[in-house]
Chains A and B, each alone.
Chain A
Amino acid sequence: MSGDPYLEVTDLSVRFPTSDGLVQAVNGLTYSVELGKTLGIVGESGSGKSVSSMAVLGLHDPKAARIEGSIKVGGTEVVGLAEDKMRSLRGNSVAMIFQDALAALHPFYKIGAQLGEAYQVHHPKASKKEARKRSIEMLERVGIPQPDRRVDDYPHQFSGGMRQRAMIAMGLINDPSLLIADEPTTALDVTVQAQILDLLQDLQREFNSAIVIITHDLGVVAEMADDVLVMYGGRCVEYGACKEILTHPEMPYTWGLLSSVPDVTGDPNARMIPIPGNPPSLLDPPPGCAFHPRCVHSSKVPGDLCATTLPELTVGARQGHLKRCHLVDSETIYATEVLPEVAPDLAIHLAEENR
């Protein structure tokens, strides 16, 4: 079975009708993840990265959201699936962990009760005792010291890192094949973030699950993901193997993301080049390429193509690399113009590699 995608999203759109008009949160999104692999979805707030993943679990209010396209989880079509069937998937074969574990865990219930509940929903025959045993096992697995004691703590008695571990334990309690992690480390300190990322990788090796990690932090993606999908204004703008995208990005928005975060190592002469302007409104997205009002390279495209025509998601200059951009020789522009400014050391490295 390996090689077949476990999660297959095809042409997914999520729209929210509001009194101000239709919010197009996700538009024509297509991606897939295999078991044992990790996909990183990168984007800023409002890019549609969380909305698309909530759709995988069917967590949108059907009255508020219009969902079109197809989401297949382990071969089962999820869009339009009956609520009780959807429920048997949720927390069972597909689990989700959230950004702020303090807010995402119920403040009134003991950790053990919340984990046990997650186990018992999908194991109705399991007794309270069995659920508790399983909770302690999972807490131990995610590295919580003295799990048999801590299982009776409330979330507020845990530290931030331990809460996120408990959240992960709850997500994994039913051995899900797909784990969606929505900004799992954003609220944490770097040393704790490192612990959590390590734990996720360990667990993935052990359970061979597919992971979708949603983040705004390219660093997290670089360390975790096999594939990367960059979202902007509700659409995929660049998609491919992680190493490929991060070393040979072809879409100016991805360049912007890479150049607007400084590196903790690397050349101190690197410049922090901002992306001008602000993210687009999803109510009234710009015509053509949604990024064109902020794009500093659109003058290199003849005519006003960028402002009038939405570029298709096409194969880029290199294999297995999709991009949504009108630029023709984007690979060269990145290597000769952008990289020397944002990472002079890497530009030399790349030039040597190409020679």
Chain B
Amino acid sequence: MTPELPADDLTQSPAGTVSFESIVGHAHAAATLDPTAEPVLTMDNVRMYFPIRSSLMRRTVGHVQAVDGVSFQVPKGGSLGLVGESGCGKSTTGQLITRLYKPTGGTMMFEGHDLAQMSNRQMKPLRKDIQMIFQDPYTSLNPRHTVGSIIGSPLAVHNVVPKKKILSRVQELLEVVGLNPEHYNRYPNEFSGGQRQRVGIARALALQPKLMVADEPVSALDVSIQAQVINLLQDLQKEFDIAFLFIAHDLAVVRHFCPEVAVMYLGKIVEIADRDTLYSRSHHPYTQALLSAVPDVKQAAIGGRRERIMLEGDVPSPINPPSGCRFRTRCPLAREICAKVEPPMLQVGPRHKVACHFAGELGNHPHDPVTARMLGVDNEGSPDPGASPSDIGNEPGFSDVWFDLKERRTVKP
């Protein structure tokens, strides 16, 4: 049993000392987007193929295409959400940024360095700028170390604080994440799940990183504790100006935390947009299905159920992904062209990109592929000698001009 711990911070205090008003004052509304922020991390066409070897000869017989051509930017001090279902490559993407693996291809520009090309030695000074928060607060903390040494070890490894000052810095950090600073010599098992996640956050915070990769930081926690941790992360982001890559499967939590969200399916980003666009006017059938599948408490309570878009079958194997558009095997809109040509990542609004031949709002998808002409193919996806293909890249970030889906031409605001 977890021993009763004395009051740690505002959110841990006994009743009477904290009123509803004060707790509301510390709770955050959803984060907002700063469109002018410079990117701190730019991922450009990043790929990660894991080789599969045969058992007998150790010959490479194929590849798991875990991440296949992912491009995005994380703005300085802002947050980008990365959502998708299990096996879509979102966690692998996070692990690539912290260089748990060396990517197969692409560039990952961080502060003028290409993380993808760096050796482990070159990475070391950069590691303190990029920290990770893990999903499971039970297995990610060494049970034989005190929380003080867990939080203090990155300080010692990177030599950022003189030895004598480590303890006081650890106590400072404990206080920042809302734990009692006197508890530095306790062991992880003496803390509850939510408190352990705070320890994990303090450890990640110790080196004052510029970028945090948070991989499902709240999904292992009880509902009532999730909100505590999300609020804490929002506090820290504001106070220390940390950029977040927030990886989660929970679309509602991501909506609250991230003003900009990318949706992944089978190793590729299928849609990326600012929050309002993505959650109310998404253009990709997968995003639409995903959103319609999330049960919605407050709406269901007043109006009953929304119409769900049911996806048939299961996610195909990343070893042998479908040709053309990877979503086509489960897509209600799929047509001939989808199997033949891969849809490009097309910017369709000021901060909105989508990879679909039939991109459009729910119930308003076009009848003809919007991408055919620019790809130099006809509506069935066969090469069209009459068409003049234009150059559509897979660049990260957004451009000032975009393709207007209604008028079917490039527009400038």
Task: Give A contacts to B, CB under 8 Å.
Answer: 20, 44-45, 145, 159-162, 189-195, 197-198, 216-223, 242-243, 246-247, 256-266, 268-279, 281, 283, 292-299, 306-307, 337-338, 341, 343, 346, 349
Q: Which chain A positions have C-beta within 8 A of B251?
A: 190, 264
CB pair B223–A260 under 8 Å, yes or no, is yes
- What residue in chain B is nearest A341 (Cβ atoms)? B24
Q: Nearest Cβ distance between residue B186 and chain A, in whole angstroms? A: 15
Q: Is B15's CB under 8 angstroms from A268's CB?
A: no
Is A190 touching B308 in the complex (CB atoms < 8 A)?
A: no
Considering the complex, give the chain B residue whose CB is closest to the CB of A45.
Answer: B222
In the assembled complex, the Cα of A256 lies from the Cα of B295 at a distance in Å of 18
Task: Tell me whether B227 and A263 are in contact (CB under 8 A).
Answer: no
> Is there contact, CB below 8 Å, between A293 and B14?
yes
Q: A262-B253, A263-B298, A274-B224 are in contact. Are A194 and B308 (CB under 8 A)?
A: yes
Name the contact of B294 in the complex, choosing from A219, A256, A270, A293 (C-beta under 8 A). A219
Q: Which residue of B lies closest to A145 (CB)?
A: B313
Q: Can you sample 29 A-B contacts with CB below 8 Å?
A: A145-B313, A160-B86, A190-B251, A190-B290, A191-B85, A193-B295, A219-B295, A223-B300, A246-B297, A258-B297, A260-B223, A263-B252, A264-B255, A265-B296, A266-B296, A266-B298, A268-B275, A271-B27, A272-B27, A273-B23, A273-B24, A276-B18, A277-B12, A278-B195, A281-B1, A281-B4, A299-B16, A337-B20, A341-B24
Q: Chain A residues near B302: list those with CB within 8 A.
A: 247, 346, 349
A279 to B279, CA, bound (A): 33
- Do B227 and A162 have beta carbons less than 8 Å apart? no
Decide yes or no whether B397 CB sits under 8 A from chain A: no
Assembled-state Cα–Cα distance A325/B226 (Å): 24
Chain B: number of interface residues, binned into ranges: 35 or more
Cα A145 to Cα B314 in complex, Å, equals 11
Is B30 an interface residue, CB under 8 A from the partner? yes
On whether the beta carbons of A269 and B249 are closer than 8 Å, the reply is no
How far is it, in angstroms, between the C-alpha of A260 and the C-alpha of B224 when the chains are bound? Answer: 6
Contact with A along B173-186 (1 / 0, CB 8 A): 00000000000000
Contact (A262, B252) CB under 8 Å given A269-B30, A276-B13, A299-B19? yes
Please give me the 10 A-B residue pairs with the lowest Cβ-Cβ distance, nearest first: A219-B295, A260-B227, A246-B301, A222-B300, A274-B227, A194-B293, A275-B224, A189-B85, A262-B256, A274-B228
Chain A CB within 10 A, most for which of B15, B195, B308: B15
Q: A264-B279, A292-B15 are in contact. List 7 more A-B contacts (CB 8 A).
A: A190-B249, A194-B295, A217-B295, A263-B296, A293-B15, A296-B23, A341-B27
Given A189-B85, A271-B27, A277-B11, check contact A44 B223 (CB 8 Å).
Answer: yes
Task: Give the contacting residue for B194; candidates A193, A265, A278, A337; CB below 8 A.
Answer: A278
Q: Which one, A272, A275, A299, A349, contacts B28 given CB within 8 A?
A: A272
User: Which of B27, B192, B230, B293 sits near A190, CB closer than 8 Å?
Assistant: B293
Name the one of B27, B222, B228 contacting A279, with C-beta atoms under 8 angstroms.
Answer: B222
Most chain A C-beta atoms within 10 Å of own C-beta, residue among B86, B222, B227, B297: B297
Q: Is the CB of B28 within 8 A of A271?
A: yes
Contact with A along B242-286 (1 / 0, CB 8 A): 000000010111011000000000000000000110011000000
Residue numbers in B under 8 Å from A293 (CB-CB):
14-15
Query: Within 8 Å of chain A (Cβ to Cβ): is B387?
Result: no
Judged by a CB distance under 8 angstroms, whether B291 is at the interface is yes
| Complex contacts, B280 vs chain A, CB 8 Å | 265
Contact between B223 and A193 (Cβ–Cβ < 8 Å)?
no
Given the complex, which residues of B lie within 8 Å of A223, measured CB to CB?
295, 300, 305
A154 to chain B, nearest CB (A): 17
A349 to B289, CA, bound (A): 27
A260 and B226 contacting across the interface, CB-CB below 8 Å: yes
Q: Is the CB of A44 within 8 A of B16?
A: no
Task: Say whether, besides A219-B300, A266-B296, A278-B194, A296 and B15 are in contact (CB < 8 Å).
Answer: yes
Q: Which residue from chain B places its CB closest to the CB of A298 in the assembled complex? A: B15
Minimum C-beta distance from A99 to chain B (A)? 14
**Contact between chains at B230 and A272 (CB < 8 Å):** yes
A198 touches which one: B19, B308, B314 (CB < 8 A)?
B308
B300 touches A294 (CB 8 A): no
Within 8 Å by CB of B252, from A220, A264, A274, A296, lies A264
The answer on a CB contact under 8 Å between A296 and B1 is no
Q: Which residue of A lies closest to B234 (CB)?
A: A272
Given A268-B30, A299-B16, is A243 in contact with B223 using a C-beta cutoff of 8 Å?
no
Q: Mark B366-390, 1 if CB is under 8 A from A, else 0.
A: 0000000000000000000000000
Q: Are A44 and B224 within 8 A (Cβ)?
A: yes
Query: In the assembled complex, how far is the CB of residue A349 from the closest CB belonging to chain B, in whole angstroms?
Result: 7
Say if the beta carbon of B29 comes within 8 Å of chain A: yes
In the bound complex, what is the Cα–Cα distance between A276 and B18 (angstroms)? Answer: 9
List residues of chain A with CB within 8 A of the CB of B313: 145
Whether B24 contacts A265 by the Cβ 8 Å rule is no
B231 within 8 A of A: yes
A318–B149 Cα gap in the complex (Å)? 54
Q: Does B10 contact A (CB under 8 A)?
A: yes
Query: How far does the alpha carbon of A193 sit from the alpha carbon of B295 in the complex, in Å?
Result: 9
- Give the distance in Å from the alpha carbon of A278 to the alpha carbon of B225 in the complex: 8
Across the two chains, which residue of chain B brings its CB closest to A247?
B301
